[in-house]
Chain A
Amino acid sequence: MTDLADQSRPRSRTTKATEVETGWHHPSEHRLRRLVLEHRAALGTLAVFLVMMSIFIAANPAVFMTWSIYSSVLTTLPVALFVVVPLVFVVTGGEIDLSFPAVMGFSSWTFALLVQADFDPFIAMAAAILTGLVLGFCVGALVVYAGLSSLIATLGMNFLLRGLIQIVNEGKSIALVTLGDSPAYKIFSSEILGVPVQIFWAVGFVIFATLLYNRHRFGAHVKAVGDNPDSAKQMGINVKRVRVKLFVFMGIGAAIGGTFSTMINFTWWPTAGDGYLLPVLASVFVGGTPTWGGVGTVVGGAIGTLTVAFIQTGVVAAGLSGFYVQFFNGLIIILSLVGHRWNQERYR
């Protein structure tokens, strides 16, 4: 390649060479602009969150001065984060996964059964994660190798897995009375200075996933596959394998989320995970990941989760009745989408 460089550069722009050198590398004053542009989806989500919170706080400042309102959100938020973040990957990869609520229920069921049978909770957690991994692989293999639409196939899997849970358990829950004394509980579910520790694990997970998304080959392949699967294939990316990996990642996230939620409640219910379907989907899209694949933002998704988590708390704390919650949910989703639509462009 050096021979080409030597010949072509002087030929084309001898006189402008120095000008080009300086103009090419964007000087530092452009750096901020570039960062804002590159992260505009996440920044937009942050703006929505801040505006929403200011309105809530303005409506009832006193309530928002108390720690308990944040503490309750911080307990449940991590569960959602463990699911939202992998879903950002899945959506970026051009797929969707609606089976995660049942996978959450199924893997935490494994956890609950093992803890009940007096296994160490660490082992139970590992088994739960393995369950999620295997289920994710099954869902992924079904979608990818049978060539099914992920929207419908994962919806089917969600019913199927939940149905199995229901058939076996007949509505009975599992209480985990011994869990509270275990070291695993201290590490994953206690409080440090009044802050629920789950949030630290979740934040760690978000940071790891952000790096995976932006600075790892896996993230690069996911974006390429979601953007244009034909091009990705032509460039030698194993498109099918990448897609299966997406569902495996989703399964692992769902397993961790499900286990955390069981730990928080000391009880496993056959419905575990069910309530997360719509809020989690909303969080991903409120977070600024578009539906068409190829682009997305993990940090935006995390802020989206925070936004969705605060709507309910905020509406009630602001003095409105619980009947307003759904209305505000819808309002925030629509406003966010309109906002993102305006600052994102899909190239064809």
Chain B
Amino acid sequence: MAEHLIEFRNIKKSYGSVDALGGIDLYVDKGEVLGLIGDNGAGKSTLIKILAGVVKPTCGEIIVRGRPVSGWNAGRSREAGIETVFQDRALALQQSIVHNIFMGRELVGMFGWLKLKQQLAEADRLMREIGFTSEAYTPRSIVGQLSGGERQGVAIARAIYKQADLIVLDEPTTALSLAETAKVFQFVRQVRASGRSIILIDHNIHHIFDIADRFAVLDRGKIVLEADRSKVKSVKELVGFMEHVARAASAGGGHAKAAGGVAP
């Protein structure tokens, strides 16, 4: 079997008495879009924060390109070719767009002196490619002056700047207009076409259904469904399953089994 790009093995995370994640086994392959869905508080963001090295798992292993990682942190994660658009966007609002795009990954020459000109040129190019921000803004504009959607554009631009092997998008379209949302999905398709991978978290099941190659449904820290796109006949089936999951959760019972219509 070919090795997976990323693999989670029995990842658990508890916050005090709250089990945010209770043993996750999941993988992402090269060139695929993995859709991660689940209710609020299901543990989606926690999982991708663990992958990004921001949150330490209580136990479990992350395997990148066939090798278990050790001493995992945010810096290592980015070096391994994983770029994340966090749900909170992780921007520094008093800083310029260019500073945010290169935050933690500055272009430096000898002795750590910044290559400011090159950073500006790259940021300028990136902004034009993405076209998220209005033309009144330059790479020197302060991020705090941008609108919510424009800020989100900066976060997305930052994630795509390096041709990362895996781009993780945690609800990338929440603040975006229809046109901008379409752009994001257009971008997701381009990334897949170039043989790179995406993990996409979105509450809009139609979006996920349209674009993902594989779905994973999280429910209160457990994966309750993992299915290929080809196994799911219609979006109705997926929506039906999600409703089933929500009902099981509100009934306070155990985790929903993948029974409600979807044959896993």
**A4-B187, A24-B138 are contacts. A218–B94 as well, Cβ < 8 Å?**
no
Q: How far is the CB of B109 from chain A (nearest CB, A)?
A: 10
> Interface segment, B22-30, B124-132, B220-228, B235-243?
B124-132
25 contacts between A and B (CB under 8 A): A1-B160, A1-B161, A1-B163, A8-B183, A9-B129, A23-B135, A25-B124, A216-B112, A220-B99, A220-B103, A224-B99, A227-B93, A228-B90, A231-B91, A232-B103, A234-B54, A234-B74, A234-B90, A235-B105, A236-B78, A236-B104, A237-B103, A294-B92, A294-B94, A347-B144
Q: How far is the CB of B194 from chain A (nearest CB, A)?
A: 7
**A224-B92, A346-B94, A347-B144 are contacts. A235–B103 as well, Cβ < 8 Å?**
yes
Residues of B whose CB lies within 8 Å of any CB of A are 52-54, 73-75, 77-78, 84, 86, 88-95, 99, 102-106, 108, 112-114, 116, 124-126, 128-131, 135, 138, 140, 142-145, 160-161, 163, 183, 186-187, 190, 194
Which residue of B77, B94, B95, B187 has the most chain A CB atoms within 10 A of its CB atom? Answer: B94
Q: How far is the CB of B247 from chain A (nearest CB, A)?
A: 35
Scan A229-257; emit 1 where CB is below 8 A from any B CB, else 0: 01111111110000000000000000000
**A4-B190, A24-B124, A231-B90 are contacts. A236–B143 as well, Cβ < 8 Å?**
no
Measured CA separation A7–B124 after assembly (Å): 17
Measured CA separation A348–B92 after assembly (Å): 9
Partner of A5, one of B52, B91, B129, B138: B129
Q: Which residues of B contact A235 (CB under 8 A)?
A: 74, 78, 90, 103-105
B114 touches A348 (CB 8 A): no
A217 touches B114 (CB 8 A): yes
B104 touches A237 (CB 8 A): yes
B131 touches A347 (CB 8 A): no
Chain A interface main SS type: helix
Q: Which residues of A contact B129 (CB under 8 A)?
A: 1, 4-5, 8-9
Measured CA separation A235–B79 after assembly (Å): 11
Partner of A348, one of B73, B86, B142, B144: B144
Q: Which residues of B contact A346 (CB under 8 A)?
A: 94, 144
Q: What 8 A-B pairs are tightest by C-beta distance, nearest first?
A: A347-B144, A235-B104, A227-B92, A236-B75, A236-B74, A294-B94, A234-B90, A231-B90
A233 touches B54 (CB 8 A): yes
**A8-B129, A26-B138, A224-B99 are contacts. A217–B106 as well, Cβ < 8 Å?**
yes
Measured CA separation A13–B131 after assembly (Å): 10
Measured CA separation A238–B71 after assembly (Å): 13
Q: A interface, how many residues as a size bin?
A: 35 or more
A215 touches B53 (CB 8 A): no
Q: Which residues of A contact B142 (CB under 8 A)?
A: 347
Q: How far is the CB of A96 from chain B (nearest CB, A)?
A: 18
A224 touches B104 (CB 8 A): yes
Q: Is A170 an interface residue (CB 8 A)?
A: no
Measured CA separation A5–B125 after assembly (Å): 9
Partner of A236, one of B53, B93, B114, B144: B53
Residues of A whose CB lies within 8 Å of any CB of B are 1, 3-5, 7-9, 12-13, 20, 23-26, 34, 38, 211, 215-218, 220-221, 223-224, 227-228, 230-238, 294-295, 345-348
A216 touches B114 (CB 8 A): yes
Q: Which residues of B contact A221 (CB under 8 A)?
A: 104
Measured CA separation A294–B78 after assembly (Å): 23
B112 touches A223 (CB 8 A): no
Q: Which residues of B contact A12 (CB under 8 A)?
A: 131
B95 touches A236 (CB 8 A): no
Measured CA separation A205–B134 after assembly (Å): 40
Q: How far is the CB of A226 from chain B (nearest CB, A)?
A: 8
A24 touches B93 (CB 8 A): no
Measured CA separation A62–B78 after assembly (Å): 64
Measured CA separation A26–B137 after assembly (Å): 10
Measured CA separation A159–B92 after assembly (Å): 35
Q: How far is the CB of A38 from chain B (nearest CB, A)?
A: 8
B104 touches A294 (CB 8 A): no
Measured CA separation A232–B75 after assembly (Å): 11
Q: Which residues of B contact A218 (CB under 8 A)?
A: 112
Measured CA separation A223–B144 after assembly (Å): 14
Q: Which residues of B contact A234 (CB under 8 A)?
A: 52, 54, 74, 84, 86, 90
B124 touches A3 (CB 8 A): no
Residue of A nearest to B86 (CB): A234
Residue of B nearest to A20 (CB): B135
Q: Which residues of B contact A227 (CB under 8 A)?
A: 92-95
Q: Which residues of B contact A5 (CB under 8 A)?
A: 125, 128-129
Measured CA separation A57–B54 after assembly (Å): 57
Measured CA separation A8–B108 after assembly (Å): 29
